[in-house]
Structure 1
Amino acid sequence: MLRKNQQFLTQVYMASDMAVIQASFLLAWWLRFESGLFGFVYPIPIKYYFVWSLVYGAIALLTGLISGLYSPKRRKRFADDFIRVMQTHVIGFFLLLGAMYFAKEINISRSYLFLYMALSVFLIVLYRYGVKQTLRVLRRKGYNKQYMLIVGAGALGRRFHLNMQHYPELGYEIVGFLDDELEWKKGETEYPEVIGKLRDLRAVLDRFKIIDEVILALPYGDSDKYPELMAVCEQAGVHIMIVPDYYDFLPTRPVFDNFAGMPLINVREVPLDLAANRFFKRLFDILFAALAIIVTSPIMLAVAIGVKLTSPGPVIFKQERVGFNRRTFSMYKFRSMRAPMADEDDEDTGWTTENDPRRTKFGAFIRRTSLDELPQFFNVLLGQMSVVGPRPERPYYVEVFRDQVPNYMLKHHVRPGITGYAQCAGLRGDTSIEKRIEYDLFYIENWTFLFDIRLVFITIYKMFTDKNAY
């Protein structure tokens, strides 16, 4: 049943993509040749363009099939879909140019081709996003469900069930458990009923025809039972997934690799380990920081004057922080606290708290609105920071937290950021360090360019609404 549904959805997506590509062809034709926006150009007959549009549609569908664009999407993030769409159409565009070259087609307008490609990608991404969001809403309401059976009612299986409850938008319902040791009826616990023993798997699959997937969540010591259980599932045509008993040691998105003919799990490979990802993130940082400095230069001038007029001392406050690969650097901020007197201890190991007596009145304002962070765009241009990333901490606290907070030092695998996932979630000021690290690690292990863009927009909104900045 599940595989038939997936085949049907694949066909629907392919037909929809072809329809959108041809709609993009018509819209690009109108914009280029009939709207008057680009001046009047007498084109060759539209039927020649239409032939090449059909050719491109076929190329795009074939490329999408090869690249995995039409694989099942229920468990995938939209960012993954976006990347596949971009890859498919970039490759398809160059294949189209190659086909046109060999066909000696020289009469197609280059500006038309650019419009056609841009509209195709934009409209496909737009409709796919709309479909994904619509399905998420419907699944939350109980429609478009898929049903799972969990083999193993121990800690691992129960943990999987509890985690699934946090993602109702995926549309999965647990039919029940199979287990040889534990047993309970429906309603006796917060978990679904244990409906049989492991040996009952074949009978349960025959009885519950609605089961689409079986989750094998047995303890490590029972791994010898997997071959027989998998054979039963495959004979019944049911999809199988295995929850490893050591998953607590793995990051959120481990990478599966193959080495010397053996499958391996790469425990800590992150997206920004790839040179291409680092290049695009750095390019975005430079362009965004340069634009931000230009746009906010009047604001920075006003803030500098405000700092100078409201309290004696330097306008810019420099503080040593630990950054990429545990190297220290000087992070710039507009000074928001009074400068220490000559006889005061200036060792900076204090934690900023609400109603901190060291703040000036103007400093409280620029901290609340995050305007004190604007000079850090110069840190970004210098390569010491990124626009988005884990917030850097002072060396004193790094030494304290590295022994107290699990995985704390992993945040230094990437450049620190002006803003970060933890800060967008409200974890600023005097909030849990453990929670911040959880969010930082999730960001590091799940980085995408779209994730950065999303966090930038959230940060702009949070600048005026966050109550934890002081």
Structure 2
Amino acid sequence: MVERTSSDVVWRGRDALGARQGRSEVNGVGSATTSPPVSRWRHPRPREVSWRDALRRVNAVAVLLVAVDAGVVALVCARQPPGWRATALVAVALLGARGACRLYRRRLWLSWFHDLPRSAGATALAFALVTCLDLVAGAPPADTRAAQWSVLAFAALSEPARLAVFAFGRWARRRFDRCDRTIVVGTDKVGVDLVGSMLAHPEFGLRPVGFIDPEPVLDRAALPVALLDEDLADAITRLGVGTVVLAFSRTRESYVVDSAIAAHRLGCTTLVVPRMFELHQDGPDIERLRSYPLMRLGTAPTSRPTWWVKRTMDVLLAAVALVVLSPVIAACALAVLLESGRPVIFRQVRVGMDDHPFVLYKLRSVRMNGNDDSQVTWSVVGDRRVGPVGRFLRRSSLDELPQLWNIIRGDMSIVGPRPERPGFVREFSAIHELYWARHRVPTGLTGLAQVHGLRGDTSIVDRSRYDNYYIANWSLWLDVKILLQTVGELLCRRDR
């Protein structure tokens, strides 16, 4: 019998050969005991936000911009009504186009001139939409002209109002200290310059409260704000920090990445000074703090409204699939019973989101031998414990169908990183950088790594890289694409 123990995996990982994941099950019930979660200090839990903190974080400038635009739309349509249908079309086209062009985004630089091209483009898009939709609907020419004039009148009235909002926002930040508490990671010249700009120009909305750097470049006395001798996650929680700026540091690159993930997980706005920032152009996700460009990282997937859509679809699709495929599951269970007896369902402890353990359900594909080594042993191709039925279940992935119940319970999602056993999570996290970071979202029945051929006896390094890419780029469309690719893999699976 071919076995691979956890020590083999550690040795191979340190030898840069890449640890490989297999599938292990011996008895019907995996060990119910788990070791302490992995690297908790590196994987902070989302903090609880009080109503005062939530109110303080409200982007007042964005709210005012929405209110101003809505008021101007109402004023224009009231003074020159193009008809109720055309009025609704104008309102939806204007506010929708401006929202799509991200005119209501959070921003550091409250510059009307900088935002004017984007605003003009959004108005032009709304004008085109109103015109095209009226033509398609066959609206009377008088209604079309009235709607077009409403859009032009909106542009003439809204821009001065936006100029006033930006001026008021800058004044309020200076006068009332409406600024985000900010930590800068990195104490080199760039970090010091950024803190100096924040202190001298509060109109950018950042108030520095400290540096964090394991290997500070400058002496503490030379720093404009305090050097904090604590972990970033602890400092964020203790000081009520809302923004983290990642500058340059002499410490290892992985520390900066870990800091970004910690800030991301705690709900902070995360801004990164790009390399070769002197040559960096402005773009949709680029902020400006004086002469420094700052890349704004996206919010955590689980904090977005679309995540609730994902969860709803998970429950609906899993429930329907469980009902429709129940005859298939029953037939597979009968085959397992006839081949190797009971129990039919295999239970094993796996690590889910935020390092929380849960019991994963599968159809058993390995014969029982009375010795439960499922937490430390990997089965590989040619394992004698796997019979013909087990090989078929694994090759077709039918043994994974009971995990639909895990999805309904909330332990897993349909799409996400595949879950692993606690012991191997600890070892992989110690060997491979950012393996721990894949637990920022729920684990999944299928994932981006699996549709790229990384299933069974394949590289853990590559899996981790794909999983973290999935989290950084998550969208509903990415989930749909992975599901379609999964169907293609199941129907036209190649021998890899």
> TM bucket by the smaller chain?
0.3 to 0.5
Give the TM-score taking structure 1 as reference length: 0.47
Q: Could you say which structure has the greater relative contact order, defined with CA pairs below 8 angstroms and 6 or more residues apart?
A: 2
